[in-house]
Every structure is written in structure tokens, then in C-alpha cells.
Amino acid sequence: MKRRREGEASSPSRSQSLLEASDAAAGAGAVDSPLSPRQSNQLKKSRVEDEGAEKGVHAEEEEEEMRNAVSSRSTVAATTTTTTLMNDEARLVAVGDKAPDFTADVVNDAGEFDRVQLSQYLGRYVVLIFYPLDFTFVCPTELLAINAQARALASMNCVPLGISVDSKYTHLAWLNTPLHQGGLGARESKFYIPLVSDLTRTISRAYGVLDHTHGHSTRTLVVVSDKGVVRAVVDNGGSVGRSTEELVRVVQALQHTDANPHEACPVDWKQGGATIVTTPTASKAYFAGDHMST
């Protein structure tokens, strides 16, 4: 059935045509022009058909309105779901969160392919060094500097793991590229940091460090405690390298406060420095000393 468009003039119905014909006859001078029995039956039949047609039009209109309403609700629901998923993916892990566990391919410190799982390091601190890509500019400077602190970190029961979206094959090629060509120079000197392949972006998404615009990890550092809890997060811009000295200092401070839960490490604290006992009375011992001099 053809649906009448909104605002479109309707064509006269059969019953209307019969009545108009009768009125025309009356206007032509007929004193009394009743419908014949045949015309009367036709008029009744036409009225029934007209009513049915009108009901059909209304039914079509109601059905289309229902389809439009369902489509609108589906679109809103899909948009809401997509936005929720993107927001969930975009959430950067926070201090106090349980570190998301993962299992992934890795190039180990012997230069061999292996598998690694974060939870295998429970009982040790782990530093997750997310970086954008191999064969770039700032990234090798950071990894080489942290590699120089690898033994110091090991003495603190701390394991560094480099993580990017590159494949294990690209990691291996970068490791074996000479230093003067922007590589990590593993053939020239020992490289201790295992490089994790996050080719599927699963780890980066779980930690909220995936740059959705460029498709790689952001320059983010996550310190995970020996109990698998996130203790520190440093998120730098892509063009700014992180401080290795600050990384070591923060891990030392966190481990000190783990062992001494009633103490806090003040600004620029370094291992062996004075701490603050976190009670109103005992803290005055720190403030009464020379620590507050400008």
C-alpha cells in the first residue's frame, strides 16, 4: 500500500466521488435525487474500503515510528557502549591498583626468544618501562641509561622490563644494531633489560598507556611492588625522556616505607637520609633539625 507523504494532498475516495456525483445532480435542477439501490450499495462498499485504507495508512505510520524509535535507541546504546569501552581503555593505572597480569613474548637478557609473565616476579619489585617504538630517538637513550643501573636495581630486588608494541623480531634487530646507528648495541656490551613484545596492544590497553592516535605505547613508567600493586606512575610526553636517577630514588624510597610503614620520605630524599615519623609529635624531630633550611 502506497503511504501518503506528510503534507501531500489526498485523492478523493470512492465514497466521496459518489456523494459529489449526487450533489452535482441535485445542483443541476433535480428536486429529489436519491441514490439508486445500486449506488447505495456501492457507497456502503466504498466507505468500508476507504475506512480500511485509512487504517492501513495509520498502521504503516505507527510501524515506521516504532522502527525509527528502536533504531534511535540502538544507535544511542551503541554509542554509549563504544564510549564506555574507549574510556575504560584510556584509564591510566593508578597508585594502589592491582597491576594487571600479562603473559607475552620477550627477548631475554641472553638475546633469546622467551615468554614472560608478570606474576612470576611476585616477591620482587618490577619497573615496567613502556616506550613508543624501537629504532626511534629518545627511547634508546632511556633504555641504555636504565640498563646502566640494572645491577643497582637487581641489588634492590627489582626487575626492569622494557615494553613496546614492536614484535620480538624487531626487538632482536634493535638489540643487535650498533650504538652509533641508534641501536642498543647488545653485541658491544651486555644488555640486561628483557624487551617485552606487546604486538597485540593488550598490555598497553590494560595499563591505559596506549596512544590511540598513533597506535603505540606512551612514554610511561609503572613501578609494581613485590605484592603486585602499582606504587608509582610516571607519564611523560613523547619527546621528553625520564630520569634514571629519579627512578632509582623512588624505588628505594618505596621499599624503605614498605619496611618502615610509620615513616615518610621527604622531598629529594635519598637512601640513608632522614625520614619523617608520621605522628604529630614525633614529626617535630625532623622539622626541628636543619632539614627545613632554605
Q: Give residues with Cβ within 8 angstroms of 96, minimum separation 6.
A: 229, 230
Give the separation between CA 220 and CA 233, rounded to whole angstroms: 7
Please identify which of the residues 18, 99, 107, 139 carries the catalytic annotation.
139
Q: What are phi and psi of 103, to 5 degrees?
A: -130, 135
Give the separation between CA 14 and CA 49, rounded to whole angstroms: 8
DSSP alpha helix (H) spans, the chain: 14-27, 37-90, 138-148, 150-155, 168-175, 202-207, 244-259, 284-287
Give the separation between CA 112 and CA 147, rounded to whole angstroms: 17
Asked if residues 141 and 241 have their Cβ atoms less than 8 Å apart, the reply is yes
User: Catalytic: 139?
Assistant: yes
| Cell numbers placing 12 | 478523493
Neighbours of 81 (CB within 10 A): 10
Q: Give residues with Cβ within 8 angstroms of 83, minimum separation 6.
A: none
**Positions marked catalytic:** 139
